Structure 1
Amino acid sequence: MVDLFLGHSLVCNNRDRVEYDTEREVILRLQNRILLLFFGSADCQRCQEFVPTLKDFFKRLTDEFYVERSAQLVLLYISLDQSEEQLENLLKELPKKCLFLTHDDPYRRYGWMGVGGWGGEMPVPNPR
């Protein structure tokens, strides 16, 4: 899974917006970790409703109060937002420890038009 993100910039959702863009930094952040990918958008009502649950889940699995090996989980937000402003709006609600791809990242080229749901549905490009 780490190989998918080599050559991409991962940014930490903290005040300093630390950017991990070298191969070494990306490997250090992702290797031997459980990676949660969250595809979402500030425009998506289901995403907005899901964020508090995701935030609580992530907190319980990364807080040393709840678990012994808290550094094993990484949350990576992959934005489907149309603008950087929308991206920033959703980042305000996400945990400060989560990582995200920059708005201009090439992975956005897939142009998802919808977001999957709980019933095992998968996002489909350009659904009709």
Structure 2
Amino acid sequence: MATKFRDLLGESLLEVNTDQTSETYRKVPTSELENKVVAIYFSAHWCGPCQNFTPKLADCYMNVQSELHDRFDIVFVSSDNDEKSFEEYFQTMPWKAIPYSGSLMFLSIK
């Protein structure tokens, strides 16, 4: 299954770095999704309904994470028009994301 995730999502994903270092994101291998139930979340900073929904999804995600002990994950695929918007929006999310450049390829090819 990890190979399928890697084929679909790329070699690595981004995660917001909660350590107080200079790096905003850290790369994590897509293989971290192995043996998990994974939801793909298509959203964008410019989308008002998405802006309203994302905090609710984040709350649900945190509850599910605690109950399933990390057997569930979400991967954000951005429909944003620029990388700055992606970065601003992704900062509000507790899950992983395809890097902005990868999102563009995902949306145009898949």
TM-score range, shorter chain: 0.7 to 0.9
For 1:104, the equivalent position in structure 2 comes to: 101
C-alpha deviation, 1:9, in angstroms: 2.6
C-alpha deviation, 1:18, in angstroms: 1.7
Take 2:72 and 2:45, find their aligned partners in 1: how far apart are those partners?
A: 23
User: The residue matched to 2:101 in structure 1 has which SS?
Assistant: coil
Take 1:18 and 1:45, find their aligned partners in 2: how far apart are those partners?
A: 27
Does 2:43 correspond to 1:45? no
User: The residue matched to 2:50 in structure 1 has which SS?
Assistant: helix
Q: Which structure features the higher share of helix residues? A: 2
For 2:30, the equivalent position in structure 1 comes to: 26
Take 1:31 and 1:91, find their aligned partners in 2: how far apart are those partners?
A: 22
For 2:6, the equivalent position in structure 1 comes to: 5
The one-letter code sitting in structure 2 at the alignment partner of 1:99 is K
Residues 2-37 of structure 1 deviation map (CA, whole Å, 9 limit, x = unaligned): 4143444311122442213xxxx322x111101011
Take 2:30 and 2:85, find their aligned partners in 1: how far apart are those partners?
A: 25
Question: TM-score of the superposition, structure 1-length normalised?
Answer: 0.69
8 Å CA contact 2:78–2:86 kept in 1: the answer is yes
User: The residue matched to 1:62 in structure 2 has which SS?
Assistant: helix
The one-letter code sitting in structure 1 at the alignment partner of 2:101 is D
Number of matched pairs:
100
User: The residue matched to 1:43 in structure 2 has which SS?
Assistant: coil
Comparing 99-108 with 78-87, which one deviates more in the overlay? 99-108
| 1:48-59 paired onto structure 2 within 5 Å | 48-59=51-62
Residues 12-65 of structure 1 deviation map (CA, whole Å, 9 limit, x = unaligned): 122442213xxxx322x11110101110000001100101110110010113xx
Q: Which runs of 5+ in 1 are unaligned?
A: 112-128
What do you get for the CA RMSD once the two structures are aligned?
2.0
8 Å CA contact 2:5–2:33 kept in 1: the answer is no
Q: Which structure features the higher share of strand residues? A: 2
| Percent identity for Structure 1 against Structure 2 | 20
8 Å CA contact 1:8–1:101 kept in 2: the answer is no
